[in-house]
Structure 1
Amino acid sequence: MKITEIEVFAIRLPLYEPFVISYASYSDMPSIIVKMTTDTGHVGYGEAVADDHVTGESWEGTFAVLRHTLAPILLGENPSRFGKIHEVMDQAIYGVPTAKAALDMACFDVVGKIYGIPAYDLLGGRYHEKFPVTHVLSIASPEHMAQEAAERVALGYSSLKMKVGTNAVEDVKRIQAVRERVGKETAIRVDVNQGWVNSSTTLQAMKQLESCELDWLEQPVKADDIDAMVEIKSKIATPLMVDEGLRGVREMREIIAKRAADKVNIKLMKCGGMYPAMKLAHMAEMAGMECQVGSMVESSIGSAAGFHVAFSQKAMTSVELTGPLKFSKDVGNLHYDVPFIELNEKPGLGIDVDEQALEELTVRKEKVSL
């Protein structure tokens, strides 16, 4: 089998309401979809959701890299040779993990379809049966976040992820308000997205939040400040998770060596796709660290790819892939049994792509072929 054609679609996914985090507010989500065709006539899809603040990639730049650098060099390659595919991409261009992730996913999707097996069987087989879905709260006033949290708990959600990081003093009020509204039975995870910047601000905030009994604290300081994470971990009882500070193997080595976190958030857009994510999960498992697969708010395509990684790896204890629940129109049909997600046994990523919706959401598209 070999890759004969790759199409690249720049799209914008409409959100039900703006998604607000510490460093940005999104009225819609810019994404890039790749469609890979092989000489057997099978088609696979992948997705790239770039984030300038996390990997240094932009929507426009990722489209260009895919169209002019990565897609052309994969023509003629065997998509089932996952390690070789990554070697070819890495030799062509340094970094750009989001662009590489899209092609990596498409390879897993098309190969799974060719062999008639789910993508998780290409990653070692299914380990987990289902995961609870966590609702993500965008940054808003304490009252608004508390009200939304209560509404979601009433719908059956057992865990909430709070986005904070604009101001530590206000963030404490937000977290306290949500905890007071939902009670102690609901798990609350706090994601600062680097917004508290340093260890001193973080430790001051966490001292005020001791009674809130948080499930974990995620990436409170700047991504590259692993030493600050070490200090925070040594001084708080709340489990500490690294997110933006983990991109690939180099950072994972340092995190493990310095015991800088209790948990790691693996995102396909940060590490380069499903194959690299599997390797990071293996490293974490050997170090006795728990993992979750997180999201850059991808469509059904990218979210399904993340779920296949999560369901196949023992070290995965949580998932936060809720993009499809936030979109008023999606390009795929990933199904959630809220408050749980259970994958089907269809081949590849296990979703059907709506070609008409893809066309309607497309801003720009280009194609390369043999």
Structure 2
Amino acid sequence: MKITDISIGMVEVPLITPFKTAIRTVEQVKDIVVLIETDSGHIGYGEAPPTSVITGDTIASMKEAILHHLKPKLLGVEIENLNYICHTIQNAMVNNFSAKAAIEIAVYDLWAQMLGQPLYKALGGGDSKLTTDVTISVDYIDKMVADAVKAVEQGYETLKIKVGKDIGIDIERIKAIHAAVEGRSLLRLDANQGWTPKQAVKAINIIENAGINLELVEQPVKGHDIEGLKYIFDRVHTPIMADESSFGPREVIGLIQKQAADIINIKLMKTGGISRAIHIADIASTFGVDCMMGCMLESNISVSAAAHVAAAKSHSIRKIDLDGPLLCKTPSIQGGVTFDKSDVTLNESPGLGVKAINHFIPFND
């Protein structure tokens, strides 16, 4: 199975409600989609969002990276040479992680198709059913409480609460949501780099002293502030999860060595694709550190890939935050993993099981 062409386009899917965090507000998914064609007639699908405030990738930069830096190095290569392809992708250029991820996802899709297995089985197997949380966007307290109650009534057992804009209001947000759903849902807190180290310790201590047991607090400080993360880790009981502080294997090793985080959040758009996500999961497993498989504001293709990796690496990836497609008004594809509220079911078709893309808008080279 040889690569004969690589083309890209876009999918645009409106969100059910605006997605709000401490650093951005988004009203629609607007992602790059990669199609890799082969001489056997098989097509591999990949996807990446332009999350410029986190990864630095934009639609324009991903288009340039994929078509003019990655594509020329991969044409004519046999898919069975998976390690060579991944090495080529990762070393073709510095950074551009989301562009690399889109290409790698499509390559792994083809590799598993070549083997005639769903991706998670090609990667070693695992449970075909996962359970995801759902995000409660930062907003007015009454709105967040209402959203949280609605999610719990729909059957979600874990809520990811976005905060990080105002520490005083953030604390009141958590207290109000906890009072409304106590005993019915676990609460994960995501500050999206919105606090200082001292603010984070103060906020978490107040929450702990109020008798609220958070499952974890995600990335309370700037991604580059490892010392700040360590400062918080040493002063609170609540588990701290690194997100923007942990793009690749090197950063993860540093976090583990410094004991700056309890949990590592793996996202394919940060790691540059599946190969380095697997590497991180194996490193974490070696040191007995748990991981979460997360996503940016992505739709079904890349989230399907993340779900397959999470299933295959469940020995270290014990938490799932793959609610991107649940936030969309309509599916971006036919096929892929299926969602029934918090229940995520992997398909048994070869590869990712993508059958068609809805509302695909092709780009010209």
Q: Does the pair score TM above 0.5?
A: yes
3-state SS, counterpart of residue 356 of structure 2: coil
Alpha-carbon distance in structure 2 between the residues aligned to 1:304 and 1:261: 27
Corresponding residue number in structure 1 for 2:203: 205
Cα offset, 1:59, TM superposition: 2.0
Partner of 1:171 in structure 2? Answer: 170
Cα distance in structure 1, aligned partners of 2:7 and 2:359: 12
Q: Which residue does 1:348 correspond to in 2?
A: 351
Question: In structure 2, what is the Cα distance between the partners aligned to 1:220 and 1:263?
Answer: 13
Q: Does the CA contact (< 8 Å) of 1:51 and 1:58 recur in 2? A: yes
Whole-Å separation in 2 of the counterparts to 1:10 and 1:22 = 26
Alignment of 1:253-292 (within 5 A): 253-292=253-292
Are 1:230 and 2:233 matched, yes or no?
no
- Higher mean C-alpha deviation, range 88-97 or range 36-45: 88-97
Choose 218-227 or 329-338, whichever is displaced more. Answer: 329-338
Conserved in 1, the CA contact under 8 Å of 2:9 and 2:34?
yes
CA contact (8 A) 1:97 1:272 kept: yes
Q: Which residue of 1 aligns with 2:190?
A: 191
**CA-atom RMSD in angstroms:** 1.4
- Tell me how far apart the structure 1 counterparts of residues 77 and 180 of structure 2 sit (CA, whole Å): 55
Q: Alpha-carbon deviation of 1:95?
A: 1.2
Deviations 1:317-353 (A, max 9, x none): 1111111111123321431132311212111012322
Q: Residue type matched to 2:27 in 1?
A: S
Taking the aligned partners of 1:160 and 1:248, their CA distance within structure 2 comes to: 26
Match of 2:239 in 1: 239
Matched residue type, 2:309: V
- Aligned counterpart, 2:129: 130
TM-score when normalising by structure 2: 0.95
Moved over 6 A (4+): none
**Counterpart secondary structure, 2:127:** coil
Q: What letter is aligned with 2:294?
A: G
Counterpart in 2 of 1:157?
Answer: 156
Determine the C-alpha separation between the residues in 2 that align with 1:269 and 1:289.
21
* Separation (CA, whole Å) in 2 of partners of 1:353 and 1:322: 21
2:114 match: 114
Q: Residues 1-370 of structure 1: matches in 2 within 5 Å? A: 1-123=1-123, 125-196=124-195, 198-210=196-208, 211-313=211-313, 314-333=315-334, 334-354=337-357, 357-359=358-360, 362=361, 365-366=363-364
Letter in 2 for 1:365: F
Structure 1 unaligned residues grouped into runs of 5+: none
The separation in 1 between residues aligned to 2:281 and 2:127, in whole angstroms, is 14
Provide the rounded CA distance (Å) in 2 between the counterparts of 1:338 and 1:174.
24
One-letter code aligned to 2:329: S
Does structure 1 conserve the Cα–Cα contact (< 8 Å) formed by 2:29 and 2:299? no
State whether residues 82 and 111 of structure 2, in contact with CA within 8 Å, keep that contact through their aligned partners in structure 1. Answer: no
2:175 corresponds to which letter in structure 1? Q
The count of corresponding residues between Structure 1 and Structure 2 is: 360
Point out the more displaced range, 58-67 or 34-43.
58-67
- Measured after TM superposition, the shift of residue 129 of structure 1 is 4.2
Report the residue type matching 1:350 in the other structure: G
Indicate the larger mover: 126-135 or 48-57: 126-135
Distance 1:219 1:60 in 2: 28
Q: Secondary structure at the match of 1:358?
A: coil
Question: By how many angstroms is 1:279 displaced?
Answer: 0.7
CA distance in 2, matches of 1:89, 1:158: 38
Q: Secondary structure at the match of 1:352?
A: strand
Q: Which amino acid aligns with 1:328?
A: K
Describe the SS at the equivalent of 2:228.
helix
Q: Which runs of no fewer than 5 residues in structure 2 stay unpaired?
A: none
CA deviation vs aligned residue, 1:94-138 (integer Å, no higher than 9, x gap):
111100101100011112122210111232x22234222211111
Residue identity opposite 2:61 in structure 1? G
Distance in 2 separating the partners of 1:259 and 1:115: 40
Residue identity (%): 34
8 Å contact kept, 2:90–2:272: no
Task: Give the AA of the match of 1:201.
Answer: Q
Once the two structures are TM-superposed, the CA of residue 51 in structure 1 deviates from its matched residue by 1.3
